[in-house]
Structure 1
Amino acid sequence: MSEANQVLGEQKRTNVRWMIVVLLFFVTAINYGDRATLAIAGKPLSDAVGIDAAGMGWIFSAFSWAYVLGQLPGGWLLDKFGSKRVYFYSIFFWSLFTLMQAGIGLFTGVWALITLFSLRFLVGLAESPSFPGNSRIAAAWFPANERATAVSIFNSAQYFATVIFAPIMGWLTVELGWQSVFIFMGVLGILISIVWLKVIYDPKEHPRANAAEVAYIEAGGALVNMDQKKDDGKKEGPKFGYVKQLLTNRMLVGVYLGQYCINCLTFFFITWFPIYLATERGLDLKSVGFAAAVPAICGFAGGILGGIISDRLMKKTNSLSIARKTPIVLGMLFSMTMVFCNYVDSIGMVILFMSMAFFGKGIGALGWAVMADTAPKEISGLAGGLFNMCGNLSGIVSPIAIGYIVNATGKFEWALVFVAVHALVAAFSFLFIVGPIKRMELKSID
């Protein structure tokens, strides 16, 4: 009997890994809540300080400019200093910069635009290690046959953020003013950063995880030694020369392209979707918050279901390719139902089609599970950072493109087509470009 099996046979294992993923869920919900503050407070804020739709498109993109630029340095910092420390500073500072946006009313016109762009840029820079950090923690704490469920839990927090925070932020905007949205989200994030320090540890160092749990997750392929120091007490930083190997790997290139397209849907929903409901469909701010929550609930359900389906397929087929690709491809194709909104007038039908699209997007949002499965163990943070950088280029392009489409046409019809085409390309990429899904092995470099 192996040492791992012996430990498992003598001791009932703990389930600390699920407590870890619950915290990742709440941190990620706050992460997306901070990103979405402008989607709710944007209209009264822009009216108050004098920023037009094209200007708001640039401000929406400010987060992603920094987020993209920060991915490789953020991934490097995670690999160099570990997930716990780097992620704590990430949470604290993105929350602080969110809080500071409450003072944007001190400026008007071009100075308001510059100041708000700068603060959103800083939020994006501070958040850049977050999802590579999530992926590293999932790879360290979860065996392969539980990893998609774990990833789908924290990834579905983006929908939970809309379900919970959109109504709260809508109410705050109407009752207390748009400034209260930034104060609420900023203070909440600073408080959760303190909780982070008390809960997050590496698997072998966690005071509540016993040897049986560590042996179980390690036997299932978890990278439990990811943040361990060498015998000399030092932890070697990753080499950026490995980036070339990542970018010339067909499997990862296909995954990166797919994530770029999936994120087009994500950024539409967290930036322009509430404005679409307010301007194109004539809903008031309170109604927008609650109406946006309905598709988000469907996205949340789809996100959890996608992970469960993927892990069940993994157990039945023992094939990562089948287990991960099936939900992604089918989910992306189903999300294209959003274009039907162009052919209906009823707000109920609009919410129905958007809910279907949200549900499909949720099922297909398994890119981070694929990254946890494929990233080279030596540079999982750097690989995740590159993945997130490529994916979030869409956060720069999409809000700006949609802003100009709406400005040029006066409607959202072609904007919805623009988003749906990205879903189709995502399905194509995972189906025909990615190939077999497996962990990439690095070639040594000097």
Structure 2
Amino acid sequence: MTALLVVLYIINYGDKAAFGIIAQSLKDELSMSAAQIGLVGSLFFFAFTVGGFFAGALNKWLSLRTVLFVLAIVWAFAMLPLVFAASVGVLMVSRFVLGLAEGPSSALIHTAAYSWHEPGKRGFPSALLSGAASVSKIALAPLLAWIAYSFGWRSALIFMSVIGIVWCFIWLRTWQVGPYVPGKSTSENAGSQAEEPRVPWRRILLTRTFISLTLLVASLYALVTVVLTWLPSYFEVGLGYSRLNSGVLLAAPSLAGLIGMVSGTLLSDRLSAKGWPTRAVRIVFPALCAFIGGAVLFIVPIITTPLAAVIVISIGYGIGAVVLPLANAAVSQICPPAQTAGTLGVFLALMAIGGLVGPYVTGLIVDAASDPGLGYATAFRIMGIVSGVCAVLAIVLADPDRDKQLVRGKASA
């Protein structure tokens, strides 16, 4: 069941990666500026942010089986209008619809996966889900780049639509919910644990853990979205690689990120099983990784060799990426299980603000720079600084065990 959800996440990020791969083709065909391409990328993440706030309501109104099927079908068809009527307006509407449908999916996918894993062992499945973004860019992005190069950019969108429909068919035939999600009907959640009392949302959302981790993951997500939207363009325009090779090289930071997330979360879960405090393994450790990754990205503008720039960006991205799965697991600990989907929905929606800001600001920086390559490199330096500051705040403020007792203690009182 977890593997089925990982595949859905791969498709999810494939839709995001496809835009970055065809960005230069769209820019040329539709006569768009870098700022306009960035604005379209940010519009997607604005819709993504708005959609994320509906995760809790959708989880309450519909079964996980139904809601994820509906969302995946919308993804499959959202970008097809652009294939038949390419224009800036159609591009913006299609990306907005896609973002709106993808917004609730992250929280719901995590909730579905967590239904098969007890709370103390959610770091690794979180890494598998977060690592799906890297798998998508390692395996799917080069394939999309080849398809777009060989058959035109429209064929990449058609391909993503087809694999989305195939996944929906498999999902309807195989999915079952696990035993760790309360509050569902017996048919969908047989054997679930007893439901804890719900608490007011403000008690969860105003904890220092939730607020500081939101800032940290938003800063890292800005980097993720800039990689998805702009990295192939940076490799092509800034570093001189061909359009095909630029799409293939998108796999480099993604591979580093996958290694960082999987190894980091396995280590975190193992230390947690040995009795290490949650704050040490799910807050301090990933925040230090984010700080180190930010320091690595800071030096990008001084790198003059294309291959060295690819390596430095990959290392900085890979080290910091461990924050994403461990932050999700940490936030899921502070709320009652019945409110996991809603809490993660708000958390991931606020995280997506990084995606709202990152691509557009990067486009503005590139347009204003004397050289596009320097503009992209400067954007990576700025993101490294921001993620480093947010990492320090998380180390100082976040403590899931403390805030779990605070939230649930008030509920008991």
Which residue of structure 2 aligns with residue 157 of structure 1? 132
- Provide the secondary structure at the position in 2 that maps to 1:349: helix
Asked if structure 2 preserves the Cα contact closer than 8 Å seen for 1:129 and 1:385, the reply is yes
Asked if structure 2 preserves the Cα contact closer than 8 Å seen for 1:376 and 1:442, the reply is no
Which residue of structure 1 aligns with residue 194 of structure 2? none
Indicate how the Cα distance of structure 1 residues 441 and 199 shifts in structure 2: closer, same or farther if over 3 A, else same. farther
Aligned counterpart for 2:316 among listed residues 357, 363, 371: 357
Give me the whole-angstrom Cα distance separating, in 1, the residues matched to 2:125 and 2:181. Answer: 16
| Bigger mean CA offset, 133-142 vs 400-409 | 133-142
Which residue of structure 2 aligns with residue 57 of structure 1? 38
Which residue of structure 2 aligns with residue 245 of structure 1? 203
Q: Is 1:409 aligned to residue 369 of structure 2?
A: yes
Q: Is 1:225 aligned to residue 182 of structure 2?
A: yes
Cα displacement (A) at 1:121: 0.4
TM-score normalised over the length of structure 1? 0.83
Partner amino acid, structure 2, of 1:144: P
Give me the whole-angstrom Cα distance separating, in 2, the residues matched to 1:133 and 1:146. Answer: 18
Q: Is 1:35 aligned to residue 16 of structure 2?
A: yes
Asked if structure 1 preserves the Cα contact closer than 8 Å seen for 2:300 and 2:378, the reply is no
Q: Is 1:189 aligned to residue 153 of structure 2?
A: no
Cα displacement (A) at 1:242: 3.5
- Provide the secondary structure at the position in 1 that maps to 2:122: helix
Cα displacement (A) at 1:318: 4.3
Give me the whole-angstrom Cα distance separating, in 2, the residues matched to 1:199 and 1:364. Answer: 31
Which residue of structure 2 aligns with residue 119 of structure 1? 94
| Bigger mean CA offset, 188-197 vs 138-147 | 138-147
Asked if structure 1 preserves the Cα contact closer than 8 Å seen for 2:12 and 2:102, the reply is yes
Asked if structure 2 preserves the Cα contact closer than 8 Å seen for 1:309 and 1:327, the reply is no
| Bigger mean CA offset, 306-315 vs 243-252 | 243-252
Partner amino acid, structure 1, of 2:83: A
Indicate how the Cα distance of structure 1 residues 381 and 79 shifts in structure 2: closer, same or farther if over 3 A, else same. farther
Where structure 2 has 5 or more consecutive residues not aligned to the other structure, the ranges are 188-197
Give me the whole-angstrom Cα distance separating, in 2, the residues matched to 1:152 and 1:284. Answer: 32
Asked if structure 2 preserves the Cα contact closer than 8 Å seen for 1:62 and 1:396, the reply is yes
Over the aligned positions, Cα root-mean-square deviation in angstroms equals 2.2
Which residue of structure 2 aligns with residue 316 of structure 1? 274
Asked if structure 2 preserves the Cα contact closer than 8 Å seen for 1:57 and 1:400, the reply is yes
Give me the whole-angstrom Cα distance separating, in 1, the residues matched to 2:183 and 2:286. Answer: 28
Which residue of structure 2 aligns with residue 425 of structure 1? 389
Partner amino acid, structure 2, of 1:247: L
Which residue of structure 2 aligns with residue 101 of structure 1? 82
| Bigger mean CA offset, 118-127 vs 314-323 | 314-323
Partner amino acid, structure 2, of 1:308: L
Cα displacement (A) at 1:67: 0.9
Asked if structure 1 preserves the Cα contact closer than 8 Å seen for 2:300 and 2:381, the reply is no
Give me the whole-angstrom Cα distance separating, in 1, the residues matched to 2:377 and 2:55. Answer: 37
Give me the whole-angstrom Cα distance separating, in 2, the residues matched to 1:255 and 1:330. Answer: 13
Aligned counterpart for 1:339 among listed residues 298, 314, 322: 298
Asked if structure 1 preserves the Cα contact closer than 8 Å seen for 2:257 and 2:317, the reply is yes
Partner amino acid, structure 2, of 1:330: L
Cα displacement (A) at 1:138: 3.1
- 1:370-385 to structure 2, matched below 5 A, reads 370-385=330-345
Aligned counterpart for 1:284 among listed residues 242, 249, 270: 242
Partner amino acid, structure 1, of 2:384: A
Which residue of structure 2 aligns with residue 167 of structure 1? 142
Cα displacement (A) at 1:144: 3.0
Cα displacement (A) at 1:161: 0.7
Aligned counterpart for 1:199 among listed residues 174, 183, 189: 174
Asked if structure 2 preserves the Cα contact closer than 8 Å seen for 1:67 and 1:389, the reply is yes
Cα displacement (A) at 1:139: 2.9
Asked if structure 1 preserves the Cα contact closer than 8 Å seen for 2:222 and 2:354, the reply is yes
Which residue of structure 1 aligns with residue 353 of structure 2? 393
- Provide the secondary structure at the position in 2 that maps to 1:141: coil
Indicate how the Cα distance of structure 1 residues 386 and 442 shifts in structure 2: closer, same or farther if over 3 A, else same. farther
Cα displacement (A) at 1:164: 1.0
Give me the whole-angstrom Cα distance separating, in 1, the residues matched to 2:93 and 2:200. Answer: 32
Larger Rg: 1
Partner amino acid, structure 2, of 1:346: T
Indicate how the Cα distance of structure 1 residues 247 and 405 shifts in structure 2: closer, same or farther if over 3 A, else same. same
Aligned counterpart for 1:264 among listed residues 222, 241, 263: 222
Q: Deviations over 1:405-429 (max 9, x none)?
A: 1111242232112210222133123
Indicate how the Cα distance of structure 1 residues 332 and 164 shifts in structure 2: closer, same or farther if over 3 A, else same. same
Cα displacement (A) at 1:226: 4.0
Give me the whole-angstrom Cα distance separating, in 2, the residues matched to 1:125 and 1:288. Answer: 28
Give me the whole-angstrom Cα distance separating, in 2, the residues matched to 1:251 and 1:371. Answer: 7
Q: Is 1:90 aligned to residue 71 of structure 2?
A: yes
Which residue of structure 2 aligns with residue 66 of structure 1? 47
Indicate how the Cα distance of structure 1 residues 69 and 241 shifts in structure 2: closer, same or farther if over 3 A, else same. farther
Asked if structure 1 preserves the Cα contact closer than 8 Å seen for 2:291 and 2:392, the reply is no
- Provide the secondary structure at the position in 2 that maps to 1:225: coil
- Provide the secondary structure at the position in 2 that maps to 1:412: helix
Give me the whole-angstrom Cα distance separating, in 1, the residues matched to 2:186 and 2:61. Answer: 10
Give me the whole-angstrom Cα distance separating, in 2, the residues matched to 1:37 and 1:368. Answer: 25
| Bigger mean CA offset, 187-196 vs 322-331 | 322-331
Give me the whole-angstrom Cα distance separating, in 2, the residues matched to 1:400 and 1:325. Answer: 29
Indicate how the Cα distance of structure 1 residues 371 and 101 shifts in structure 2: closer, same or farther if over 3 A, else same. farther
